[in-house]
């Protein structure tokens, strides 16, 4: 029954993603006037067409300004308004980590929001970044789509950025925030509530403008919670209604982004094939996770509780199945919010969210999930072309050595950040002294943190004392590199392909809108992912599982 409920929570956003993707393409398509609404607000700078280099530079400039703005807000929050609880300034490395985290759409949190952040920092710093970082991803996918559609000029980043914020993210967030308020999520500017317990003790209950931040946290594949426990906290996620709404919100824009690509390029069949591959991978993830989590925790082996599913680290309001579903969805995208403790998942269940972030293409983040899949598409096209002895083609453009060099570089950055960071911290006190558990489980805690940072996911395995200077600096750098290199290189590929002459289709042309091509892409993702990450999977979750059953 839980599995059927989980599939229903995937089916609803899948159905809604088609009209949403069509709307996103409409407002972002440079061929219609609707997107010029943003030009009225932002100004003349939005009207100049840009090639891929100009587009990428504009994106970087805007993101640097975003980073600088939030760094200043966090450093001076103690003197800024909307600070009724008197929050003080943050430590320097934590400011760097937090600004890096939110500007890259990662939202990895080495702090508890209700403890460290003022209302001003939450709303005008972190929540603002959750809008504009998601808008960056959507804008860059629109540019990539135009390049693959044959346009040498990829659009205008400022226009796409403002349009994505004002006409896509803002209306959706307003609707979801109203639904969350109706479901019991707080929305107030009053300070923390002080209450007397039944025993007569005084209790301070943190609250604030929660609903507004949670809406964009989910819709923008951000995941940065208002409270430290994230969506396990009853003020962020009070009921089954809010749990379902938030879970569906995680996936709807990444799903719609695939259809947006199809509408902008005019190749809806290609989009349908890619959507099918992504959906197949997500359903497999959900099925495996929910079944594995129905097994008892090894910690209860031999006890009467062993007959039931693994309830360790779960919100009993939602149950083990819903926790496993959320863990699968949040790591299929770059959302990273949690409604259960990933550190308490059964070891092999913990491998499922790790695999989602290793592949990083199962719908992925807002816009950037498809951009990551594009790299696997280029690699798959190239392999098939070499197998039949002809120059590979994609969308009637030849894929040659230059494009493959860029694609392979983009493909290898992700595992390099994860494996290099994990090796360094597992071998030094920087990481080894911060883990809660020894052995394979402690190794998995370090592995998960670097995986989450490199995938711009932001979820935590926990059990890790990660608010240290080495962790803050290392994961901050990983998040920045893991965000911008995999965006810029595909834009360069799209710009290179757009500048080439189209070649006519022949009987030897590889069709990219068939199930055969979908199977090729699926195989490329799975086999390349296995080759890159199977060794650390064995050292971490698999070894942890074997150790738990041998105790």
How far is the C-alpha of 336 from the C-alpha of 482, rounded, in Å? 15
| Domain assignment of residue 412, yes or no | no
pLDDT of residue 503: 83
* Contact criterion met (CB below 8 Å) for 74 and 472: no
Q: Flag whether 89 is in a domain.
A: yes
Residue 385: per-residue pLDDT: 80
Three-state secondary structure readout of 8-49: HHHHHHHHHHHHHHHHHHHHHCCCCCCCHHHHHHHCHHHCCC
- Tally of residues, the chain: 551
Q: Which two tokens stand for residue 451?
A: 């995986």
Angle between the 368-388 and 515-537 helix axes, to the nearest 10 degrees? Answer: 110
Instruction: Say what the pLDDT of residue 35 is.
Output: 46
Where would I find the H helices in 149-267? 157-163, 170-182, 210-219, 240-265
CA 416 to CA 458: how far, in whole Å?
18
Name residues of the chain where pLDDT drops below 50: 33-35
Q: Which residues contact 50 (CB under 8 A, 6 or more apart)?
A: 58, 153, 154, 155, 156, 157
How far is residue 439's CA from residue 544's CA, in Å, rounded to a whole number?
8
Establish if 194 belongs to a structural domain: yes
Question: What residues form DSSP beta bridges with 397?
Answer: 394
Q: How many domains does the chain fold into?
A: 1
Q: Which two tokens stand for residue 316?
A: 């009993």
In angstroms, rounded to a whole number, what is the distance separating the alpha carbons of residues 431 and 388? Answer: 48
Is 245 a member of any domain?
A: yes
Query: Terminus-to-terminus CA distance in the chain, angstroms?
Result: 32
pLDDT at 202: 84
- Using CA atoms, how far apart are residues 344 and 382, in angstroms rounded to an integer? 41
Its pTM stands at 0.93
Contacts of 3 (CB under 8 A, 6+ apart): 286, 287, 290, 291, 321
Angle between helices 515-537 and 401-426 (to 10 degrees): 30
Tell me, yes or no, whether 191 lies in a domain. yes
Tell me the angle at which helices 439-454 and 401-426 cross, rounded to the nearest 10 degrees.
Answer: 140
pLDDT of residue 320: 78
pLDDT at 34: 46
DSSP 302-369: TSGGGGS---TTB-TTTHHHHHHHHHHHHHHTT----SB-GGGS-HHHHHHHHHHHHH--SS-STTHH
Give ∠ CA 194-200-206 in degrees, rounded to 5.
20
With respect to residue 368, please indicate whether it lies within any of the assigned structural domains. no
Bridge-based pairing of strands 393-394 and 397-398 is: antiparallel
The domain containing residue 244 runs over which residues? 17-251
Helix crossing, 347-359 with 268-293: angle to 10°? 160
Per the rule left: phi > 0, alpha: psi between -120 and 50, beta: everything else, 340 is beta
Which of 377, 391, 376, 326 is CA-nearest to residue 352? Answer: 326
Alpha helices in 220-239 (DSSP H): none
Within 10 angstroms of residue 62's Cβ, the number of other Cβ atoms is 19
Q: Would you state the structure tokens that stand for residue 387, as one six-digit string?
A: 């197998």
Rounded to whole angstroms, the Cα distance separating 358 from 529 reads 7
Q: Which two tokens stand for residue 396?
A: 């009637």
Position 481 in a domain: no
Cα 114 from Cα 128, distance rounded (Å): 17
Supply the pLDDT for residue 33.
43
Q: Is 394 helix (H, G, I), strand (E, B) or coil?
A: strand
Q: Is residue 240 in some structural domain?
A: yes
| Cβ partners under 8 Å of residue 38, min gap 6 | 46, 159, 162, 163, 166, 167
């Amino acid at each position: 029954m839980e599995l059927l409920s989980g599939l229903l929570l995937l089916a609803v956003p899948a159905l809604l993603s088609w009209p949403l993707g069509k709307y996103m393409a409409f407002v972002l398509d440079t061929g219609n006037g609707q997107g010029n609404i943003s030009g009225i607000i932002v100004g003349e700078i939005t009207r100049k067409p840009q090639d891929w280099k100009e587009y990428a530079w504009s994106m970087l400039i805007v993101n640097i300004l975003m980073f600088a703005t939030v760094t200043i807000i966090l450093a001076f929050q103690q003197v800024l308004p909307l600070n009724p609880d008197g929050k003080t300034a943050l430590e320097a490395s934590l400011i760097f980590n937090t600004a890096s985290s939110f500007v890259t759409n990662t939202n990895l949190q080495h702090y508890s929001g209700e403890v460290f952040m003022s209302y001003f920092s939450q709303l005008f710093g972190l929540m603002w970044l959750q809008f504009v970082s998601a808008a960056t991803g959507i804008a860059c996918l629109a540019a990539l789509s135009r390049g693959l559609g044959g346009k040498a000029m990829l659009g205008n980043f400022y226009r796409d950025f403002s349009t994505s914020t004002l006409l896509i993210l803002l209306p959706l967030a307003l609707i979801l925030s109203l639904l969350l308020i109706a479901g019991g999520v707080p929305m107030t500017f009053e300070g923390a509530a002080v209450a007397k317990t039944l025993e007569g003790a005084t209790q301070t209950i943190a609250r604030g403008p929660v609903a507004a931040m949670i809406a964009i946290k989910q819709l923008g594949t951000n995941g940065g919670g208002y409270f430290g426990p994230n969506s396990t906290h009853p003020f962020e996620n009070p009921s089954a209604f809010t749990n379902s709404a938030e879970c569906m919100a995680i996936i709807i824009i990444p799903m719609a982004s695939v259809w947006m690509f199809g509408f902008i390029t005019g190749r809806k069949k290609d989009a349908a094939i890619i959507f099918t591959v992504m959906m197949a991978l997500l359903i497999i993830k959900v099925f495996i996770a929910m079944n594995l989590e129905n097994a008892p925790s090894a910690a209860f082996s031999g006890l009467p509780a062993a007959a039931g599913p693994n309830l360790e680290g779960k919100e009993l309001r939602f149950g083990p199945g819903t926790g496993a579903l959320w863990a699968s969805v949040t790591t299929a995208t770059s959302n990273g919010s949690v409604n259960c403790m990933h550190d308490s998942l059964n070891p092999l269940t913990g491998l499922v969210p790790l695999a989602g972030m290793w592949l990083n293409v199962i719908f992925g983040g807002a816009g950037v999930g498809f951009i990551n899949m594009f790299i696997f598409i280029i690699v798959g096209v190239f392999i098939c072309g070499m197998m039949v002895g002809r120059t590979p083609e994609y969308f009637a453009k030849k894929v040659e050595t230059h494009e493959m060099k860029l694609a392979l570089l983009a493909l290898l950055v992700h595992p390099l950040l994860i494996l290099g960071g994990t090796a360094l911290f597992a071998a030094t006190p920087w990481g080894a002294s911060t883990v809660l558990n020894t052995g394979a489980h402690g190794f998995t805690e370090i592995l998960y943190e670097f995986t989450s940072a490199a995938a711009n996911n932001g979820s935590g395995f926990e059990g890790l004392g990660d608010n240290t200077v080495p962790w803050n600096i290392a994961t901050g750098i990983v998040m920045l590199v893991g965000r911008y290199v995999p965006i810029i290189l595909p834009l360069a590929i799209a710009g290179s392909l757009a500048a080439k002459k189209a070649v006519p289709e022949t009987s030897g042309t590889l069709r990219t809108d068939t199930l055969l091509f979908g199977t090729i892409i699926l195989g490329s993702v799975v086999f390349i992912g296995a080759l890159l990450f199977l060794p650390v999977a064995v050292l971490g979750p698999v070894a942890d599982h074997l150790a738990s059953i041998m105790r």
